[in-house]
């Protein structure tokens, strides 16, 4: 059976969630800097977490890719405080324009 990975933005929880075959596999905390005052256009990502049961399956990379694609679609940029997100950006030059 093929595994299906989805990434969704959960504004009410200030995070992105990744699901593998419908099961929550991880998340990335994220918020628009200065959101209360209309925002700065910068999405700050302080933390990502993948359930160890889903480790080694590309879930973390899919989570960051989905987050970055959403940031791009919204015309924003990202400030990666999380080392995993920063490393992903370093390894994927196609997203270099999104780094704040």
Q: Domain residues of the chain, as ranges?
A: 5-98
**Mean pLDDT in residue range 67-88:** 97
Binning pLDDT at 50, 70 and 90, where does residue 9 land?
Answer: very high
The predicted pLDDT at position 36 comes to 57
Q: What is the dihedral of CA 96, 15, 62, 26, to 10 degrees?
A: 140
pLDDT at 48: 98
Q: In what order do the strands lie in the sheet with 15-20?
A: 5-10, 15-20, 23-32, 42-50, 77-80
| Helix, strand, coil distribution of the chain in percent, nearest 5 | 40, 35, 25
Q: Write down the CATH number for the domain with range 5-98.
A: 3.40.630.30
More confident residue, 64 or 35: 64
- pLDDT class of 29 with cuts at 50, 70, 90: very high
Average pLDDT rounded to a whole number, residues 10-37: 91
């Amino acid at each position: 059976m093929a595994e299906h990975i989805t990434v969704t933005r959960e504004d009410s929880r200030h995070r992105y969630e990744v699901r593998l075959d419908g099961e929550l596999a991880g998340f990335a905390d994220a918020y628009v800097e200065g959101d209360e005052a209309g925002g700065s256009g910068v999405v700050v990502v302080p933390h990502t977490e993948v359930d160890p049961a889903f480790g080694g399956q590309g879930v973390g990379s899919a989570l960051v890719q989905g987050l970055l694609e959403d940031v791009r679609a919204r015309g924003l940029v990202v400030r990666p405080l999380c080392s995993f997100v920063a490393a992903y950006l370093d390894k994927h030059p196609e997203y270099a324009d999104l780094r704040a």
